[in-house]
Amino acid sequence: MAFLPGIFNRNPAPASAAPAPTAAPAVPVNSNGSAGPASQQTAAPANPGAAPVNMTGQPAQPPAGGPVNPMDSYINLFTPKPVDPKAPQQPTMADPILGQLDPAAFRQQISTANFAASIPQEKMQAALGGDIAAFTDVINAASREAFAAAAQLSHGLIEQGVRTGAERLGGTLDSRIRNSLLKSQNTSNAALSHPAVAPMLNAVKMQIAASNPTLSPDAVQQQAEQYFTQMADVLVAPKQAAQAAQAKPSETDFSSYLA
């Protein structure tokens, strides 16, 4: 039995024998059957049914990121847009057209006005000398100058007021016409045209229009109806899923035959 010592490697191999090939380092085997450290291996197990997530009775894992809710696209619909405190305030039709008039400042400005500057000096001297006719002419000349200045001031104020009002009104015409078109839009959905639902539909349309100033009235109407239909689908989805689960025929439990 000379071969026994060689089997148990009790004696060194003869020098003339060829060196044995170097064995590759042992690679650890993971619990899922894949080679290499568990932190670096993601191969599927040999028996997919043995994975806990695939066993009967285990909850199904949602996809990465979770299920997509169709209402997620409307999250920011009712969120007020932030207002820049440094942005210039646009005047509206409710604001004064000409601004506030300070009587004291106005008197201070007209205190330097000279309505007698165009009166001839000889008329002034004659009036001071007691000439009644010259005195009357001086009074009339000063009155005419004051009247002309008042008419000129009134014309300028009216012109500025009308121009400012027209600019403010023109800046709101687009939104007024758009709001009128939005309110006149009709829906073909009988449920949305119900008197108890129509006010809510109009409110959603106005909110969508405010959040999207460049959106056409037809597009606003379409998005508002889509909002309600998707919300209805989300609300009835759990009930429909429960009804579908009840209507689905139950699978045969073969484990009962082993009892």
d(CA 28, CA 174): 74
Domain that holds residue 214: 186-243
Q: Is residue 232 part of a domain?
A: yes
258 or 156, higher pLDDT: 156
Pick from 225, 222, 164, 239: nearest CA to 197: 225
Q: What is the pLDDT of residue 86?
A: 83
Specify whether 192 is located in the same domain as 239.
yes
Q: Is residue 12 part of a domain?
A: no
Neighbouring C-beta atoms of residue 220, cutoff 10 Å: 23
User: In the structure, what pLDDT confidence band is assigned to residue 188 with cuts at 50, 70 and 90?
Assistant: confident
Q: Is residue 27 part of a domain?
A: no
Specify whether 210 is located in the same domain as 173.
no
- What would the mean pLDDT of 205-216 be, rounded to a whole number? 84
User: Of 136, 169, 184, which marks where a domain is finished?
Assistant: 184
**The model's pTM:** 0.44
d(CA 114, CA 72): 72
Q: What is the pLDDT of residue 254?
A: 65
Q: What is the pLDDT of residue 11?
A: 46
Pick from 200, 197, 218: nearest CA to 209: 218
- Domain count for the chain, please give it: 2
Q: Residue 120: pLDDT above 60?
A: yes
Q: How far is CA 6 from CA 12, 17, 22, 207, 222, in A?
A: 8, 12, 18, 90, 88
- What would the mean pLDDT of 81-88 be, rounded to a whole number? 77
Q: Is residue 3 part of a domain?
A: no
